[in-house]
Structure 1
Amino acid sequence: MHQVERAIFDLRRGLPVLLVDGESRVLVQAIEGAAETAVARLAREAGTTPALVLSPHRLALLGEVGAVATARLPLPEGGGRQRLAELAFGPRPEALPGRAELARWRRALQPAERADRAALALMRRALLIPSALVARVDDSRRAAVEALVAEGTLLAVAADKAECCPAGAPGMLKRVSEARIPLVDAFDCRFVLFREPDGLREHVAVVIGEPEAGEAPVPLRLHSACLTGDLFGSLRCDCGEQLRKAVTGIEALGGGVLLYLAQEGRGIGLANKLRAYTLQDSGLDTLDADRTLGFDEDERHYGVAVDMLASLGIRRVQLLTNNPRKVAALSAGGIEVVSRQALYGSLNDHNRRYLSAKAERAGHLLDAVFNGHGEGPGRS
């Protein structure tokens, strides 16, 4: 895991890393933040022509209807960094010059190997666009590349370890610090901070009152961080309103826990969330905007929530949510969800399309909101 953690930060800094899969050696470079010379550098170091690895959702946008797997796309001749960025995450790659050439590239798609899948897994974990430049290391360059690894210039990572990194490291969450912090709507509160092994994400358990970690179900809210809604009161979502209602609701129930999870933008990070907002302004809904960038409709993982509850000694909960996926995730992690309580925000002209997409396409239980009965919590 240690090498994977280092690789994440190297990629975020715009540096290449080496993925090792048996006898195969593959140089990987993030598209986002790459220098103009990145393609030439990879080609020189690897001794082969780099390719572009794209997710199924991005491939579908390029014309591969029904794409279900990651694949490699040969690079366009003479394509600079800007053109690569358009192919990797531009809003309308079909409008690029040379559409016929793009069709030829698509016909040259090659199935992804484990190193390709691992490359995109690293990008997701690093909160970067899920696309990557990859170059197989030729036998003639292998000794030179391994010399770079030996001298510490280049980091080598096992592809199998990198491929499973998006879910973090289950069971390795660290409980770091805690303090009592009175809130306006819940005076008796304790904040407990947890840190993931790679140090990239920190999550907070807000313990309200003194919930008993026994047989009685503990009122619980899993809340994914939303800087724009939680802090600035954005009208494009209902997150901030749900956060505040969760605190008052848990207080009214006699105490419980709110897990504030560092999963901005359904797990794609703030930078990509803002990119998705720009795409939404052009007419896409929230799910299609994420898919256009190459992401799944929901990139969140709730294993961290299970680990946090285990640390707090909580095994049975009364979950405040409209999202059946959260119920399923906790149940799969061994947490008994005794009941579900709905938690609604308000409908407005700015968030109507967002909430509609969550209800109609992501299965969120929001009928009461659209029927005008979503002002308060409900039980099911």
Structure 2
Amino acid sequence: MYQIERAIFDIRRGLPVVVNAGDQRLLVQALEGSESVEAMARLAGQRPSLVLTRHRLAAMGVTLTAEAASLPLAASITTNELHGLATSESPSSAADGLLSGLKPAASAEVGAVTLMRRALLIPAALCAFVSEAATANIEQQLAEGRLLQVNADDAEACLAGAPGMLKRVSEAHIPLEDAADSRFVLFREPDGLREHVAVVIGKPESWEGAVPLRLHSACLTGDLFGSLRCDCGEQLRNAVADIQGMGGGVLLYLAQEGRGIGLANKLRAYTLQDGGLDTVDADQVLGFGDDERQYAVAVDMLNALDIEQVQLLTNNPLKMEALRQGGIEVVSRQALYGSVTDHNQRYLNAKATRGGHLLEDVLSGQR
């Protein structure tokens, strides 16, 4: 895991890393921020390919059963065309010809795209298997520590983080407007990229039976600034008040902005939504699935807090199933709504019709 953590930081800095795939080595670099395909070609000894997710390809009209596909890059491709292949809602007309060379990605190439997702970058990677002529130079750079190497299997598994390795870091009493007796407990993931907070409301020693629980994914725009595009801020404050009213419980504030795609990609998706796409299609254009969140970290937090049974405040069946799969007993579910407005109605409709969220009551005006 240590090497993966270091590789993620190198990737976010725009540096290439080596993914070890048996007797082959794959040189990998993030497309995001990359300006030079030629520099990578010189280092690998052959021209790189662009690896895209099946979600991105579906948005371009290409059906793929594999998780990703590799696209050889022509020498004539421009930087704008390259980035358009990965992020544009309407790639240039040249894209059709470029896509003719698509082939299912190798295991190491799938791992490369997974590294991008874990690093919260656009899930598109420049990849080149190291040629025989370039092998000696790559070996020397690895030996000198100028390049970092990770195993393909570790790269493919990195999206789940490191279950069971979450670290409880610090805590403090923080009175809230709707819950004066609240304690914030901060947890940090091993790679250091994400920190999550458990808001413990009331006295745990007084709780009996299933603990009221809210899993709330961070939303900077809604929670802090009151964005009208979503109902997240209202849900957050309503959850605190509801948990207080139920005699206390826990709110897990999870660093999973934009359903797990990160703030930068969430803002990109918002721009696509302004052009007419719904929230699911906008994420797909960027190469992401319907929901990129991982809830193993929530299970780890609950285990650290000695919570085994919960009353879950949610409209999302996926959260219920994720907790159950993690060994947490979900005794009951309580709906949690914000207001439906002209600004967020399209977003809420997409969550209900395409994400399976249980919003029938609020969308039909029954609340």
Which residues of structure 1 form unaligned runs of 5+? 375-380
Kindly indicate whether residue 331 of structure 2 is the aligned counterpart of residue 338 of structure 1.
Answer: yes
Q: Distance in 2 between matches of 1:296 and 1:212?
A: 40
* Structure-2 residue corresponding to 1:64: 62
* Structure-1 residue corresponding to 2:79: 81
CA drift of 1:169 comes to: 0.3
Deviations 1:4-34 (A, max 9, x none): 0011111111111110011110100101111
Number of matched residues?
A: 367
* Structure-2 residue corresponding to 1:241: 234
Equivalences for residues 350-365 of structure 1 within 5 A:
350-365=343-358
* Structure-1 residue corresponding to 2:44: 46
Deviations 1:42-90 (A, max 9, x none): 1111111110000001112333135543110111332232221111112
Deviations 1:295-340 (A, max 9, x none): 0110000000000000000000000000000000000000000000
2:154 alignment partner, SS class: helix
Equivalences for residues 272-351 of structure 1 within 5 A:
272-351=265-344
Q: TM-score normalised to the size of structure 2?
A: 0.98
8 Å CA contact 2:169, 2:186 repeated in 1: yes
* Structure-1 residue corresponding to 2:23: 23
8 Å CA contact 2:19, 2:27 repeated in 1: yes
Q: Distance in 2 between matches of 1:74 and 1:151?
A: 30
Q: Distance in 1 between matches of 2:63 and 2:105?
A: 17
* Structure-1 residue corresponding to 2:6: 6
Deviations 1:186-230 (A, max 9, x none): 000000000000000000000000134976000000000000000
Kindly indicate whether residue 138 of structure 2 is the aligned counterpart of residue 145 of structure 1.
Answer: yes
Deviations 1:102-157 (A, max 9, x none): 33332211211111010011000000000000011011211110101111111111
Flag the 1:293–1:180 CA change in 2: closer, same or farther, 3 A: same
Q: TM-score normalised to the size of structure 1?
A: 0.94
Which residues of structure 2 form unaligned runs of 5+? none
Q: Distance in 2 between matches of 1:107 and 1:145?
A: 31
Aligned residue identity for 1:179? A
| Correspondent of 2:225 among 229, 232, 239 | 232
8 Å CA contact 2:54, 2:63 repeated in 1: no
Flag the 1:8–1:216 CA change in 2: closer, same or farther, 3 A: same
8 Å CA contact 2:44, 2:128 repeated in 1: yes
Q: Distance in 2 between matches of 1:19 and 1:327?
A: 35
Deviations 1:221-242 (A, max 9, x none): 0000000000000010000000
1:139 alignment partner, SS class: coil
Q: Distance in 1 between matches of 2:348 and 2:338?
A: 10
2:177 alignment partner, SS class: coil
2:185 alignment partner, SS class: strand
CA drift of 1:370 comes to: 1.3
8 Å CA contact 1:17, 1:29 repeated in 2: yes
Aligned residue identity for 1:90? S
Q: Distance in 2 between matches of 1:76 and 1:345?
A: 50
Kindly indicate whether residue 173 of structure 2 is the aligned counterpart of residue 180 of structure 1.
Answer: yes
Kindly indicate whether residue 112 of structure 2 is the aligned counterpart of residue 115 of structure 1.
Answer: no
Q: Distance in 1 between matches of 2:180 and 2:103?
A: 58
Aligned residue identity for 1:11? I
Q: Distance in 1 between matches of 2:206 and 2:137?
A: 57
Identity %: 65
Q: Distance in 2 between matches of 1:126 and 1:233?
A: 27
8 Å CA contact 1:181, 1:191 repeated in 2: yes
Equivalences for residues 162-173 of structure 1 within 5 A:
162-173=155-166
* Structure-2 residue corresponding to 1:378: none
Q: Distance in 2 between matches of 1:104 and 1:355?
A: 38
8 Å CA contact 2:66, 2:105 repeated in 1: no
